[in-house]
Structure 1
Amino acid sequence: MIGTVHVTDRGAVRVHTYVAPDASVNVTSHVVETPHSLVVVDAQFLGRFADEVVELTRDLGKPVDRVVITHAHPDHYAGAGHFDAPKHALPVVIDQIRARGDVQDPTGTTVALRDVLPTQALEPGTTVIDGVPFVFEAVSGGEAPDQLVVKLPEQRVAIVQDLVYNHIHLFLGDDDIPGWRRAVAVLAADPGYDVVLPGHGQPTTPAVYAEVERYLATAAEVLGDDGDAYEAAITERYPDYDGTFVIDIANRYLFGAGH
């Protein structure tokens, strides 16, 4: 296995967090293992890493009840076609994925929309799966226009995906730092969770919310109208963060193809 797996053990429920290698920006998939089934949250970017998550589910020996896609960025859903299970997402996220159409993964391979488009509309609220309450919360603004947070209140685990990166440079391409800061503040104000599972990087604790807030505050301070200057400034402030090429990708959205 090229990626790494980190297990959050809460007795009858365990969460197996698959973290892709650096070249795939340490994007995560979370396999929630309930007593008799599995729920997969997000499906990787590259097919070979999606296959590793599929293999993980097979090793666990339980059927995959569903694959939940949290938002419409291809690094979280391009591998969805590798899973033989219903795909669920917020209606607005389904619309956004449909609007993107076919996408390309980092190898240049075309991923057909028909293979990855979720067909099951997920409504916010509490859903009990295999006796375990899952709380689905819709969040607007931040790294993506619309995102899903998945909480396991009895296990005190919050799967917050791309509202949090753990020690990795943030993707600011949607140009919504204020919305992101508001969303993180709401998460930080909820004391019911002691494990935070990010969309990029290893499992962490609620202390990560303050780290993300500081990064966003710094980004708001140094982000001007020059992508190269921004990259130099933010990497100087955060020299030990991984994923500097994420800044380059975001800069193309913020400043145009020349960056």
Structure 2
Amino acid sequence: MNGTVTILDKGAVRIHSYMSPADTFHTTTQLIETPARIIAIDAQLLPAYADEAIAYAKGLGKPIDRLIVTHAHPDHYNGAARFGVPVHALVQVREQIIARGDSHLPTGQVISLTDFTPSVAIIPGTEVIDGVPFVFEAVSGGEAADELLIKLPEQGVLIAQDLVYNDVHLYLGNNDITGWQQAVDALASESGYDTILAGHGLPTGPEVYADVRRYLEDARELLGDDGDAYKKAIVDKYPAHVGPFIIDIANRSLFPAGN
């Protein structure tokens, strides 16, 4: 296996957090194991890494019930077809995925829109799956225009995905630092959640909020009008963070003339 899996035992629920290697900036697929099934969350950029997560899930001996896509960035939905189950997403996330169209990988491979278009709409609220309450909330602004936040209140688990990164450089291509700061502040105000699942990086705790806030404050100060200068400055500021090439991807949107 090229990726790594972190297992968290939460009583009636076991969480298996599959993290891709650094070449796809430690993107996570969360496998939420309930008493009778597995709920998969996000599907990886490269189908090969989705296959690794699926192979691991099959080894648990329970069926994958569904795949939930939290937001409209290809590193979280490209591998959706590999799961072979219904793809769930917020209505607005589905619309944004459709608007992006086919996905083009750096290798030249094209993944058709039909392979990852969500087919089941998630309505914010609570759904009880195998006796486990899943709370679905829509969050607007930040790393993406719209994102799905999932809470497991009985387990004290908050599945934030790309609302937080853990020791990985942030993708700022949505150009909404203020919205992201507000989203993180809202998460930090939640009580009763001691486990935070990040969209990039290992599972963590509430201390991640201060880390993301600090990075966003530094990014705001350093951005300027030169993408190369910004990348050097933020990498120098956070030398231990992985995935510096995610900054290059974001800079194509932030500094289109110079990148």
TM-score relative to the length of structure 2: 0.98
Q: CA RMSD in A?
A: 0.9
1:164-211 deviation per Cα after TM superposition (whole angstroms, max 9, x unaligned)? 111011000010000000000000111210000000011111100000
Q: CA deviation at 1:257?
A: 5.5
Q: Using the alignment, how far apart are the partners of 1:208 and 1:167 within structure 2?
A: 9
CA distance in 2, matches of 1:213, 1:86: 35
The alpha-carbon deviation at position 258 of structure 1 amounts to 3.4
Cα contact 1:40–1:66 (8 A) shared by 2: yes
- Residue-by-residue CA offset, 1:143-166 (whole Å, 9 max, x unaligned): 000000111100001110111111
Query: Contact 2:16/2:31 (CA < 8 Å) preserved in 1?
Result: yes
**What is the deviation of 1:54?**
0.9
Task: Tell me what 1:187 maps to.
Answer: 187
Q: Kindly provide the CA deviation profile for residues 101-127 of structure 1, in whole angstroms up to 9, marking residues without a partner as x.
A: 111123221111111100000011111
What residue number does 2:135 align with?
Answer: 135
Q: Distance in 2 between matches of 1:140 and 1:177?
A: 12
Q: Distance in 1 between matches of 2:24 and 2:113?
A: 20
User: Are residues 1:58 and 2:50 paired?
Assistant: no
Greater than 6 Å deviation, 4+ residue runs: none
Deviation at 1:10, TM superposition (A): 0.7
Q: Which of 213-222 and 232-241 deviates more?
A: 232-241
1:221 aligns with 2:221: yes
Matched, 1:235 2:218: no
Aligned length: 259
SS in 2 for 1:6: strand
Aligned to 1:102: 102
> What is residue 145 of structure 1 aligned with on the other side?
145
* Pairwise CA distance, 1:9: 0.5
Segments of structure 2 that go 5 or more residues without pairing to the other structure are: none
Question: Aligned to 1:60, what secondary structure does the other structure show?
Answer: coil
The residue aligned with 1:116 is: 116
- Between the aligned partners of 1:114 and 1:236, the Cα distance in structure 2 is 41
Q: State the 1:247 CA deviation.
A: 0.8
Structure 2 counterparts to residues 1-259 of structure 1, below 5 A: 1-256=1-256, 258-259=258-259
Secondary structure at 2:59's aligned position in 1? helix
Distance, in Å, in 2 between the alignment partners of 1:201 and 1:70 is: 16
Partner amino acid for 2:78?
A
Moved more, 8-17 or 69-78: 8-17
Q: Would the aligned equivalents of 2:227 and 2:258 in 1 still touch at CA under 8 Å?
A: no
Q: Is the 8 A contact 2:143 2:162 kept in 1?
A: yes
CA distance in 2, matches of 1:90, 1:170: 23
Contact 1:78 1:105 in 2 (8 A): no
1:160–1:198: 8 Å Cα contact kept in structure 2?
A: yes
Displacement of 1:15: 0.6
Give the whole-Å Cα distance in 1 for the aligned partners of 2:7 and 2:237: 31
Asked whether the 8 Å contact 2:24–2:243 carries over to 1, the reply is no
Tell me how far apart the structure 2 counterparts of residues 11 and 106 of structure 1 sit (CA, whole Å).
41
In 2, Cα distance between equivalents of 1:77 and 1:108: 17
Q: Give deviations 1:45-103, integer Å, cap 9, x for gaps.
A: 10110001111111011111110000000000000010111110000000001111111
- State whether residues 142 and 177 of structure 2, in contact with CA within 8 Å, keep that contact through their aligned partners in structure 1: yes
Partners of 2:11 and 2:191 lie apart in 1 by 21
- AA matched with 1:238: Y
Gaps of 5+ in 1: none
